[in-house]
């Protein structure tokens, strides 16, 4: 099934997630080494975001999944390196990736809620933030368990795909599941969390901007738009599962609309946090000076000689 959508999705997946892994690894270094004392509490949220996004990008690189939702079940065709280990491994890695994206959705809301809270309250202790993040992670962990336990055999899924869609997937790495109560819970968690978070973020943004400067408002506006990517992905999923519209581009939509989010997050965070932004700007200036100032000095010495 190596059509034009396959090539576009391969390029998009590889480029986006390679940038995401690199940017989030760099962000982790900046958080651990360059966080000032006044941001020590907030840095716990930064670390949670960076670790989550780093592993989300890493797992997305491994699976490069095409998702085929139908009324009877959800089926996956994997094209990433995980295919070397078989469909069961691809299915589990995808389950890990999906639960990381789910946790990241709630992480965006928590970041906005924290900013709104500290406008009129003292920052909470780091231990309190850590405990709340663990509690916030529990629904995503339960989703991972349910998803992992719902896998059906690859041969059965191939027959379902060929029957429902007419695709020839006999030579593909295929996994998936038939819908049951566990997957209904997972789908409800994923589908409902996206609009809930999006609406909540817009409300918190509106209440927060009156107390902040224009630059921070711009950053909050960008961050408020991130859940929109997940909303678009959810719409594409519903279109396929309801059999309203089916196309390879829609089936690969997760790669185009959801995977850029954890790759964009570190850039937004590095820009929005003043101490991080200043350190990065200084580091870039030093690199620029070291690359372009020395040749000029050598040229001046040569002219003197």
pLDDT digits (tens, 9 = 90+) for 226-254: 777 777 877 877 777 777 777 788 888 77
Using one digit for the tens of pLDDT, what is the confidence trace for 77-98?
A: 999 999 999 999 999 999 999 9
Look at residue 213 and tell me whether its pLDDT is greater than 60. Answer: no
CA distances from 301 to 8, 235, 294, 296, 304 (A): 51, 64, 11, 9, 5
Q: What integer pLDDT is reported at residue 38 of this predicted model?
A: 83
Cβ(297)–Cβ(305) below 8 Å: no
What pLDDT is recorded for position 94? 93
Q: Among all chains, which residue has been given the structure tokens 């937004």?
A: 268
C-alpha count within 13 angstroms, C-beta hemisphere, residue 16: 26
Q: For 199-223, what is the mean pLDDT?
A: 67
Cα 108 from Cα 272, distance rounded (Å): 14
Average predicted confidence (pLDDT) for the chain: 83
Averaged pLDDT, 27-48: 89
**Residue 14's pLDDT band (cuts 50, 70, 90):** very high
Q: What is the pLDDT of residue 5?
A: 80
**Close Cβ partners of 148 (under 8 Å, ≥ 6 residues apart):** 91, 92, 95
Question: Looking at 81-90, 148-157, 210-219, which range is the least confident one?
Answer: 210-219
- Alpha carbon distance 42, 118 (integer Å): 10
More confident residue, 220 or 170: 170
Q: What does the pLDDT read at residue 301?
A: 46
- Interhelix angle 260-272/4-34, rounded to 10 degrees, is 30
- pLDDT band at residue 142 under the 50/70/90 scheme: very high
Higher-confidence position of 207 and 64 = 64
The confidence band for 67, taking pLDDT boundaries of 50, 70 and 90, is confident
DSSP assignment letter at 122: P
The correct answer on CATH 1.20.1070.10 for the domain covering 4-274 is: yes
Q: Which residue has the higher pLDDT, 219 or 268?
A: 268
- Beta bridge partners of residue 65, listed in sequence order: 78
**Helix 274-304 and helix 4-34, axial crossing angle in degrees, nearest 10:** 90
Q: What is the pLDDT of residues 15-32, one digit of tens each?
A: 999 999 999 999 999 999
In this prediction, residues 127-140 reach a mean pLDDT of 91
């Amino acid at each position: 099934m190596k059509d034009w959508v396959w090539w576009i999705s391969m390029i998009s997946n590889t480029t986006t997630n390679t940038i995401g892994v690199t940017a989030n690894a760099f962000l982790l270094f900046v958080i651990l080494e360059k966080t000032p004392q006044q941001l020590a509490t907030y840095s716990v949220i930064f670390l949670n975001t960076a670790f989550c996004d780093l592993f989300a990008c890493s797992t997305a690189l491994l699976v490069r999944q095409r998702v085929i939702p139908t009324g009877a079940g959800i089926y996956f065709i994997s094209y990433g390196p995980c295919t070397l280990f078989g469909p069961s491994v691809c299915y589990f890695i995808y389950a890990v990736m999906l639960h990381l994206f789910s946790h990241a959705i709630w992480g965006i809301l928590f970041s906005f809620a924290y900013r709104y809270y500290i406008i009129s309250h003292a920052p909470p202790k780091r231990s309190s933030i850590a405990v709340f993040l663990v509690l916030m992670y529990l629904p995503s962990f339960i989703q991972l368990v349910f998803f992992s336990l719902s896998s059906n055999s690859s041969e059965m899924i191939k027959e379902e795909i060929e029957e429902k869609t007419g695709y020839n997937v006999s030579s593909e790495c295929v996994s998936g599941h038939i819908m049951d109560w566990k997957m209904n819970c997972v789908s409800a968690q994923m589908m409902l969390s996206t609009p809930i978070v999006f609406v909540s973020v817009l409300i918190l943004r509106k209440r927060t901007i009156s107390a902040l400067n224009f630059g921070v408002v711009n950053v909050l506006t960008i961050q408020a738009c991130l859940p929109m990517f997940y909303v678009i992905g959810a719409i594409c999923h519903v279109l396929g599962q309801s059999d309203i519209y089916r196309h390879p581009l829609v089936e690969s939509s997760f790669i185009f609309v959801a995977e850029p989010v954890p790759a964009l997050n570190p850039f937004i965070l590095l820009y929005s946090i003043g101490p991080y932004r200043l350190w990065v700007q200084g580091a870039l200036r030093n690199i620029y000076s070291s690359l372009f100032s020395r040749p000029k000095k050598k040229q001046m010495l040569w002219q003197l000689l």
